[in-house]
């Protein structure tokens, strides 16, 4: 794409003044409508060193109320950030509804400069670019506006600018040996940039490659592009036409190999475990998990365990038996309830990204991102397009976690309606457990058929070989506790053995 940029464009001073004024006025008036529409906007700047990213950002933000935007200055990832999936740190900076993020460099760091400087291999890089494309589609589908700029300058111009900075005592500290090295290796960077631009130039988040040779040309182009894009998004929003651009109008699990799952209502719930056997097995499996926890800690394998299931299916007691076996410094239990303000204002996956484990750690989710295709679907907290598309978004999410190296274990705790009723009644009648049962539990119980349909869809469309579902017969509490522990141990062992084979 770089070869198509007109690098010789200039603009007369009077002309610039005449054209910039109305753009400034228009941009300044955007914050009210943006806030009212709850439109989150990401404007990101990539480009050559000294191509004027900082300068054009400074000009751009003069048009906005400083309470409504944040400038995100992306640096190479810290050691802590390197212990998480590549996109982790970028998810965390997402603006909330009605807010704007203006990014000085972005997630394209990892597939451009860092790709060269940290010698990322082609396959990994392709995977990262796919993750970026998925990320941007996912954000766009969920109502985000992404405006991407690449500022282009020639090698000669870059050299001249660096020399100028270097020759002034007040600015010389801004030029680093890295800048000079990159300038010398201009051609290498050129081909990496160009490939990145081609591959990530999507209909939902196209690149605007702009000449950075001339200050006025650059400013005009950026102002005009931002102004047009935000106005267009606001118009779509006003017409309620902000339909997902890539929605297929039906359930879409993405292009993944899905495992065949039984219907939950057909699962045989009769298995039980006697008390003496239970004690023996539980102890054995817990001891095994303790050992494995030690190993994954040292091998830096992250483990993500998801519990879903009917109310009163025994998630809490089950999680307790698992966590008993774990070193308290190496795991976290994350209970998921209704989202907070901050969470509601962002993409539905944002709050789960915030709670991912570091490598070598275990996180247990007590309910999870599957709320999107369960409670949100049933209660109408999202649109049909939203939840239909969510199967794919979730598969993409879990695929990313898998590619990062995580073991993903998902449990559906299945009980039958009669057993649930017995447990509800028991809770109601036990003063120390009454707080565990709420009106909402009774209301949800009435929607058993809807939840059953949703659960079956969920199991059908999100059980992949990299993140399989396990349906657990949970009528007998002792049986289910041992079985989940066994499955956790087995999943970790499988993974460790696979690693061993790879190393041979």
> Parallel, antiparallel, or unpaired for β 407-414 and 469-473?
parallel
Handedness of CA 279, 280, 282, 286 (dihedral sign): positive
Query: CB-wise, 9 or 332, nearer to a copy of itself?
Result: 332
71-88: string of b/e by CB count within 10 Å (b at 16+)?
Answer: bbebeebeeeeebbbbbb
Cα distance between residue 183 and residue 106, in whole Å: 20
Residue 73 Cβ, how far from a copy of itself at the closest point, in Å?
A: 4
44, β-bridge pairs = 103, 148
- Name the phi and psi angles at 244, rounded to 5: -50, 130
109 binding a copy of itself? (CB under 8 A): no
Residue 173 Cβ, how far from a copy of itself at the closest point, in Å?
A: 8
406 binding a copy of itself? (CB under 8 A): no
Judged by CB under 8 A, the stretch of 63-71, 120-128, 155-163, 183-191 that binds a copy of itself is: 63-71
Query: CB-wise, 190 or 297, nearer to a copy of itself?
Result: 297
Q: Which of 17, 18, 62, 447 is in the footprint of a copy of itself by CB under 8 A?
A: 62
Judged by CB under 8 A, the stretch of 64-72, 188-196, 464-472, 490-498 that binds a copy of itself is: 64-72
169 binding a copy of itself? (CB under 8 A): no
Residue whose token pair is 């700029």: 149
Number of Cβ within 10 Å of residue 24's Cβ equals: 14
Residue 154 Cβ, how far from a copy of itself at the closest point, in Å?
A: 26
Query: CB-wise, 347 or 389, nearer to a copy of itself?
Result: 347
What would the x/- binding string for a copy of itself be over residues 292 to 331, using CB under 8 A? ------x-----------------x--xx--xx--xxx--
Return all residues near 367 (Cβ < 8 A) that are at least 6 apart.
Answer: 307, 308, 315, 335, 336, 337
Reading the block at residue 313, the tokens are 């299916």
What would the x/- binding string for a copy of itself be over residues 256 to 295, using CB under 8 A? ----------------------------------------
DSSP assignment of 58-71 equals HHHHTTS-GGGEEE
Class of residue 338 by CB neighbours under 10 A (exposed 0-12, middle 13-18, buried 19+): exposed
Cα distance between residue 142 and residue 304, in whole Å: 25
Secondary structure (3-state) at 15: helix
Reading the block at residue 363, the tokens are 């996180």
341 binding a copy of itself? (CB under 8 A): yes
Scanning residues 449 to 468, which ones bind a copy of itself (CB under 8 A)? none
Q: Which of 7, 20, 71, 378 is in the footprint of a copy of itself by CB under 8 A?
A: 71
215 binding a copy of itself? (CB under 8 A): no
DSSP assignment of 208-225 equals EEEE-SSHHHHHHHHHHH
Number of Cβ within 10 Å of residue 365's Cβ equals: 21
Q: Which of 65, 194, 215, 486 is in the footprint of a copy of itself by CB under 8 A?
A: 65
Residue 97 Cβ, how far from a copy of itself at the closest point, in Å?
A: 13
CA 402 remoteness from chain centre = 13
Q: Which of 10, 21, 22, 58 is in the footprint of a copy of itself by CB under 8 A?
A: 58
Query: CB-wise, 184 or 320, nearer to a copy of itself?
Result: 320
Q: Which of 82, 232, 263, 433 is in the footprint of a copy of itself by CB under 8 A?
A: 433
Query: CB-wise, 95 or 253, nearer to a copy of itself?
Result: 95
Judge whether 81 and 88 are in contact, CB under 8 Å: yes
DSSP annotation of 94 reads P
Judged by CB under 8 A, the stretch of 50-58, 122-130, 266-274, 412-420 that binds a copy of itself is: 50-58
364 binding a copy of itself? (CB under 8 A): yes
Torsion, Cα 405 411 412 413, to 10 degrees, reads: -170
Residues forming contacts to a copy of itself in the complex (CB under 8 A) are 29, 32, 35-36, 54, 57-58, 61-62, 65-67, 70-71, 73, 78, 80, 102, 104, 173, 298, 316, 319-320, 323-324, 327-329, 332-333, 335, 340-342, 364, 366, 432-433, 435-436
């Amino acid at each position: 794409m770089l070869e198509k940029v007109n690098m010789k464009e200039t603009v007369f001073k009077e002309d610039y003044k005449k054209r910039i004024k109305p753009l400034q006025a228009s941009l300044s008036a955007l914050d009210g409508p943006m806030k009212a529409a709850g439109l989150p906007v990401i404007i990101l700047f990539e480009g050559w060193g000294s191509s004027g990213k900082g300068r054009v950002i400074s000009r751009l933000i003069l048009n906005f109320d400083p309470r409504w935007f944040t400038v995100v200055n992306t640096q190479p990832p810290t050691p802590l950030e390197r212990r998480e999936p590549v996109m982790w740190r970028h998810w965390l900076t997402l603006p909330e509804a009605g807010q704007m993020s203006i990014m000085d460099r972005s997630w394209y760091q990892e597939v451009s400069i860092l790709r060269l400087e940290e010698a990322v291999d082609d396959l990994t890089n392709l995977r990262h670019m796919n993750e970026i494309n998925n990320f941007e589609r996912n954000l766009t589908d969920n109502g985000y506006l992404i405006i991407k700029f690449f500022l282009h300058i020639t090698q000669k111009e870059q050299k001249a600018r660096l020399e100028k900075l270097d020759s002034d005592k007040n600015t010389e500290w801004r030029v680093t040996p890295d800048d000079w090295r990159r300038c010398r290796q201009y051609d290498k960077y050129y081909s990496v940039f160009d490939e990145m631009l081609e591959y990530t130039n999507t209909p939902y988040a196209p690149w605007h490659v702009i000449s950075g040779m001339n200050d006025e040309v650059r400013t005009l182009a950026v102002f005009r592009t931002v102004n047009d894009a935000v106005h267009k998004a606001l118009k779509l929003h006003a017409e309620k036409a902000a339909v997902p651009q890539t929605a297929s109008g039906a359930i879409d699990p993405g292009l993944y190999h899905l495992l065949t799952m039984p219907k939950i209502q057909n699962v045989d719930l009769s298995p039980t475990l006697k008390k003496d056997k239970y004690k023996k097995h539980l102890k054995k499996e817990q001891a095994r998990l303790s050992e494995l926890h030690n190993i994954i800690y040292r091998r830096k394998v992250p483990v993500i365990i998801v519990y879903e299931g009917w109310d009163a299916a025994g998630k809490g007691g089950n999680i307790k038996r698992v966590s008993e076996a774990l070193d308290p410094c190496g795991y976290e239990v994350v209970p998921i309830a209704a989202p907070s303000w901050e969470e509601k204002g962002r993409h539905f996956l944002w709050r789960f990204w915030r709670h991912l484990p570091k490598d070598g750690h275990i996180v247990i989710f007590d309910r999870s991102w599957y709320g999107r295709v369960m409670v949100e679907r049933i209660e109408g907290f999202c649109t049909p397009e939203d939840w239909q598309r969510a199967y794919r978004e979730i598969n993409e999410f879990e695929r990313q976690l898998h590619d990062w190296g995580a073991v993903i274990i998902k449990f559906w705790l299945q009980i039958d309606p009669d057993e649930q009723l017995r447990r509800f009644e028991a809770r109601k009648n036990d003063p120390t457990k009454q707080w565990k049962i709420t009106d909402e539990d009774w209301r949800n119980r009435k929607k058993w058929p809807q939840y059953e349909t949703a659960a079956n869809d969920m199991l059908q469309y999100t059980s992949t070989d990299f993140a399989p579902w396990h349906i657990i017969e949970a009528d007998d509490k002792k049986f289910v506790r041992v079985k989940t522990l066994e499955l956790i141990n087995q999943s970790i062992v499988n993974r460790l053995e696979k690693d061993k084979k790879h190393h041979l």
